[in-house]
Structure 1
Amino acid sequence: MSDLLGQVHAAAGPYLESLSARPVQDPDALSLLAELGGPLPASGDPAEVVERLLRIGTAAGTASAGPRFFHFVTGGVTPAALAADWAAALLDQNAFSKISSPFAHEVETVALDWLRQLFGLPASWGGALVASATFANFTSLGCATHWWGFQHGVDTAEDGLTDLPRMPVLSSGYVHASARKALQMLGHGRNSVTVCARDAVGRADLAGMRRHLESLRGAPAVLIANAGEVNAGDFDPVAELADLASEYGCWLHVDGAFGLFAALSPRTEHLVRGIDRADSIAADAHKWLNVPYESGFALVRDQSRLGAAFGMPGAAYLPGPGDPASGYALYGPESSRRARSLPIWATLAAYGRDGHREMVERHLDLARRLAALVDAAPELERLADVPLNIVCFRVAPPGDADLDDLNRRVGAALLRDGRVYAGTTVYDGKVALRPAIVNWRTTEADIDLFVAVVRELAATVGAARS
């Protein structure tokens, strides 16, 4: 065992030191992936297996933990979080309950309390650590579903959705696919969201929402506020949606996968003003908190909602609700659970409120630097303001008649090239790039290189189309 772990330790140093300079993806190394397959071995040499995995992974793996990965709003991993994640694998705790691991339970309790403090939420709020923002949306909207059923006199945890009307869900055009997936898994359907948008971008139509709520004639509904839209980092007006929720007796859920971290800086905290009036909040830790995958969290105003929605049916050998030996498995979708609290606890303990605020503000500065470089380049066009950490722009040389095709080709060329990584999207009907800056390692030099590579590849692609 020590020898095998020694192999990983020996590979870790060179790999981590290479992240600041290596390409995000080495196209030539992808041929190594063929060495992973073949018939299932009858037996093998563990040392050779680990050596092969490390050799292929350090060469062909996507360096998403490095400073030049700007795709998907993917964070890096702080040193304290990485060490704690190794410790989580070493200790191999089942964070099911207090009885399965008092240690993991206490770390999770402290981590959730620190997350509440980080975002300025009251100590009375409850929470659950889950695998992702999708699971955080699932957990939050699961609580909303139980609340909604209760308004109709039905315990949906006991009896499901049978004989109930469809749960009204309203959001702006910024509603994310993960919220729709959560509603899909909860049995409401991905198309249960009524989108109230006042333009093609998706900005919230509050008057339209009000009219729809009036038409429900007092029936309970769920509102989804989006804190950090994925294409340009824009925000729904959370406080105004909280006013609507209060007026019409709605459940307000805030999808703050990465945008919730705007609360950390005085420069951006106004963007999430009103989150303390929500009923539930979903966010990712493996984005802007910079802890390893898989790590998300749901925060809920009323802790009892979690137990009501996700408590397990009785079993003689398991602690049930109210049992002093129970734990967080009764507050979320997973039962046997990895101790994913350890990296969160470690990064918050090591760098604290000030360290994470400084990281967010450094990324705000880098986003503004990127926007300025785009604005200064004659063949680039910024498509949106930059309220947070995403810069939405496209390649737009004068005289090109098909900019959508050009930008699709440039986006594909970026991924093939591998020096930097960013994907395309469609914003206001235009194909665009939308790099997101959330990695603690990213510097001004990485931003400058990104723009230089985009311009270089745009020129190459443009010449090939001529």
Structure 2
Amino acid sequence: MDRSAEAAPALDRAHEHALAWLGGLDERAVPPEASVADVISALGTDLPEGPTDPAEVVDLLARAADPGLTAMPSGRFFGFVIGGTHPAAMAADWLTSAWDQNAGLRTVTPAATAIEDVAEAWVLDLLGLPADSAVGFVTGGTMANFTCLAAGRDAVLSRVGWDVGEKGLVGSPGVRVLAGAERHDSVDLVLRYLGLGAPELVPVDAEGRIDPAALRERLEDGDDRPTVVALQAGNVHSGAFDPFDEAIAAAHEHGAWVHVDGAFGLFAAASPAHRDLTRGFEAADSWATDAHKTLNVPYDCGLAIVRDPTALRAAMSMHGDYLIQDEAGDPFEKVPELSRRARAVTVWAVLRSLGRSGVAELVERLARHARAFADGIAGIDGAEVLNDVVFTQVCAAFGDDARTLDVVRRMMEDGTAWTSGSRWHDRAVLRISVSNWSTTDEDVARALEALRAAAT
């Protein structure tokens, strides 16, 4: 069988549709035009009795889905911190699918493992984290937090003689988790997955940064359970970063494991202009980030980074007699999945394409666009920027809640840009998240023009 001949017609059609989609993003309205029901109708609901030519399947898929697609890769999508897909990463992702490697075992998939080894070293170097840390390539920020906090849970219990792997959590001394009052909700979700319950919340300042004095007070309150402290690099509303120096020092004085949730903010460390935001974060025990946010690789790719590789492998690894394992360690030992995509390929591709200076420029450009949004909003009558814009997040209000929500609604109806509504400090806000590599000054100007119109 000539596999290339079999695959070529469908791949050619997919290539044509992909280029047409990308080529139309600049002028396309950002919100979708069709509903779920519309797309289902176009796809058809009856399972065919017989085969369909793969090229025809691709044509049908592209034609039916197009009206229901949100222009998330557009430079004018500011609704969530999700990034776009850098061209090098997109092409590498296509190759990843074609290679079809189950990237769990070093000996079985040496190319995928080699790429992962290089990408791991580059990430640690770029972020200024300990070079002997372990990096697990997981599905996204939530599973990165899960993986790191699982390692932390097991490690702090091990220090008091409790083996979670053997005994489970029932009957254990328990684990106390302290987190800032404005931590991301995915931290709570992960703690639920891990059987640890809700975190104890520590007061924060007006920008959402944890109060290190309040944290120290909690640590000294006489509760002697094994402890994990969850800090944050990039508040989802303000973009603010916790004061790592003081917070980590206090936590380590009391024997706590310190985890940093840096879904989009961790890459501030790669920018000389913004590195100070992460000052002291390298002293933590684990760090989580989404590569498909600031680094702009395709879904799904998160990075779980743990200072102690042994702790990570103790929490994540398994053994099977049928597996061909390597004494040097295998990629699957650092992640929850046994079978997994070769996610490191796209990370390697972006880092190889941009280089150190290119990643710094990307981070600085995103932050510059956020600052331009803040300056433009400040010039709109009745508008107010509510946060100190230190990174890539902007929160604005346009008077009372009713008027702010009306502006959010008008922006969505206009379609020029996607800017989401939220609540922060008990106020309705319009939230702008700048995370796409392709956003230009013109995109920002167009979005601001639409925002002025919506506000008047």
Q: TM-score normalised by the shorter chain: which range applies? A: over 0.9
Inter-CA distance 122–347: structure 2 relative to 1 (3 Å threshold): same
State the identity as a percent. 39
Output one character per residue of 1:175-205: Cα deviation in whole Å (capped at 9) or x when no partner.
111111111111112x2x1111145764322
Supply the AA of the counterpart residue of 1:59.
P
Counterpart Cα distance in 1 of 2:204 and 2:284:
23
Inter-CA distance 413–376: structure 2 relative to 1 (3 Å threshold): closer
Secondary structure of 2:296's match? Answer: coil
Match of 1:34 in 2: 41
Counterpart Cα distance in 1 of 2:44 and 2:149:
40
Match of 1:316 in 2: 321
Alignment of 1:105-144 (within 5 A): 105-144=113-152
Contact 1:66 1:76 in 2 (8 A): yes
Structure 1 residue 114 displacement after superposition:
0.7
Structure 1, unaligned runs of 5 or more:
397-402, 460-466
Secondary structure of 1:435's match? Answer: strand
Output one character per residue of 1:309-357: Cα deviation in whole Å (capped at 9) or x when no partner.
0111x3220245xx43751111110110101111111111111111111
Matched, 1:306 2:312: yes
Counterpart Cα distance in 2 of 1:77 and 1:67:
11
Match of 2:357 in 1: 354
TM (norm. structure 2) is: 0.94
RMSD between aligned residues: 1.7
Inter-CA distance 22–300: structure 2 relative to 1 (3 Å threshold): same
Matched, 1:12 2:15: no
Structure 1 residue 444 displacement after superposition:
1.3
Structure 1 residue 166 displacement after superposition:
3.0
Alignment of 1:379-394 (within 5 A): 379-394=382-397
Secondary structure of 2:423's match? Answer: strand
Matched, 1:432 2:437: no
Which residue of 62, 75, 95 maps to 2:70? 62
Counterpart Cα distance in 2 of 1:78 and 1:9:
16
Contact 1:252 1:280 in 2 (8 A): yes
Contact 2:182 2:204 in 1 (8 A): no
Inter-CA distance 33–422: structure 2 relative to 1 (3 Å threshold): farther
Counterpart Cα distance in 2 of 1:214 and 1:82:
49
Alignment of 1:123-202 (within 5 A): 123-189=131-197, 191=198, 193-198=199-204, 202=208
The number of aligned residues is 448
Output one character per residue of 1:115-154: Cα deviation in whole Å (capped at 9) or x when no partner.
1011011211111000000000000000001112102211
Contact 1:232 1:434 in 2 (8 A): no
Counterpart Cα distance in 1 of 2:270 and 2:371:
18
Contact 1:389 1:436 in 2 (8 A): yes
Match of 2:219 in 1: 213
Supply the AA of the counterpart residue of 1:125.
S
Match of 2:282 in 1: 276
Counterpart Cα distance in 1 of 2:14 and 2:414:
28
Secondary structure of 2:314's match? Answer: helix
Structure 1 residue 218 displacement after superposition:
4.4
Matched, 1:104 2:112: yes
Per mean C-alpha deviation after superposition, the further-off stretch among 260-269 and 341-350 is 260-269
Match of 2:438 in 1: 441
Structure 2, unaligned runs of 5 or more:
1-6
Counterpart Cα distance in 1 of 2:226 and 2:446:
51
- After TM superposition, where is structure 1 displaced by more than 4 Å over at least 4 residues in a row? 198-201
